């Protein structure tokens, strides 16, 4: 038995992930409910005041975002999307939907020919707001992802004043996500029915 296996928080997190995945998969009307959630996000004062916003591009059963990206791009904000390179998230300035293509694992991501363009590369410190996906959340802003830590690494390097706002279906909210020292709390979690005020990184 490894040290990790013996930590009851890890075992509980695995159980929550399993339940959350099933809940998310069973979510009805994902498109319509996702539209409610992204509309609520775009009305938040944090979103309204941010100049440089990182959206994620939805994968599988996550709260969908791609329907909202064209309007976000057309606004006066600088829209950034992440893509994965060798376990790290890189950031890309998205100016049109045709700058995305279907890549590995059928994930929509920035076109390979544009990724190395210097003007398209963005540093995490430039982000004024980060929209975060996840598997399970709680009302305090606790979050669990897939366990790979991609977002944790990115969020650790974000400016302290950059709000972290998670998007989730109601069915992804649990009484408590077991958090460890390196885990990062969200400032807000937005679902179709509620905006939860999280603990953030205080």
Report the alpha-carbon distance of residue 54 to residue 63 in Å, rounded: 15
Contact 98, 125 (CB under 8 A): no
Residues 6+ apart with CB under 8 A from 25: 61
Residue by residue, pLDDT tens for the chain (202 residues) are: 444 556 788 888 999 999 999 999 999 999 999 999 999 999 999 999 999 999 999 999 999 999 999 999 999 999 999 999 988 999 999 999 999 999 877 889 999 999 999 999 999 999 999 999 999 999 999 999 987 788 998 999 999 999 999 999 999 999 999 998 888 999 999 999 999 999 999 6
Q: Looking at domain 3-197, which CATH architecture does it have?
A: 3-Layer(aba) Sandwich (3.40)
Domain parsing of the chain, residue ranges: 3-197
Report the alpha-carbon distance of residue 114 to residue 128 in Å, rounded: 23
Give the pTM: 0.94
- In degrees and rounded to multiples of 5, residue 188 shows phi and psi of -145, 150
**CA gyration radius for the chain?**
16
Measured CA to CA in angstroms, residue 2 lies from 7, 10, 11, 88, 179 at distances of: 9, 12, 12, 25, 19
Contact 29, 37 (CB under 8 A): no
Report pLDDT for 5: 53
Report the alpha-carbon distance of residue 95 to residue 73 in Å, rounded: 6
Report pLDDT for 6: 63
Report the alpha-carbon distance of residue 102 to residue 21 in Å, rounded: 23
- What is the number of alpha carbons within 13 Å of residue 138 lying toward its C-beta? 15
Contact 133, 144 (CB under 8 A): no
Contact 93, 108 (CB under 8 A): no
End-to-end CA distance of the chain: 34
- In degrees and rounded to multiples of 5, residue 76 shows phi and psi of -85, 10
């Amino acid at each position: 038995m490894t040290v990790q296996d013996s930590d009851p928080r890890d075992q509980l997190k695995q159980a929550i992930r399993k339940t959350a995945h099933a809940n998310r998969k069973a979510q009805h009307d994902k498109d319509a409910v996702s539209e409610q959630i992204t509309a609520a996000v775009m009305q938040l004062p944090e979103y309204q005041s941010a100049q440089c916003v990182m959206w994620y591009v939805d994968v599988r059963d996550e709260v969908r975002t791609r329907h909202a990206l064209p309007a976000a791009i057309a606004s006066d904000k600088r829209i950034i999307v992440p893509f994965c390179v060798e376990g790290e998230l890189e950031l890309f300035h998205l100016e049109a939907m045709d700058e995305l293509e279907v890549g590995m694992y059928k994930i929509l991501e920035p076109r390979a020919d544009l990724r190395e363009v210097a003007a398209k590369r963005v540093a995490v410190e430039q982000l004024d707001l980060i929209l975060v996906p996840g598997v399970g959340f709680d009302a305090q802003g606790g979050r669990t992802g897939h366990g790979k830590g991609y977002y944790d690494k990115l969020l650790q390097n974000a400016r302290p004043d950059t709000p972290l706002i998670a998007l989730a279906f109601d069915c992804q909210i649990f009484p408590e996500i077991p958090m460890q020292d390196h885990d990062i709390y969200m400032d807000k979690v937005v679902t179709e029915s509620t905006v939860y005020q999280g603990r953030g990184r205080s």
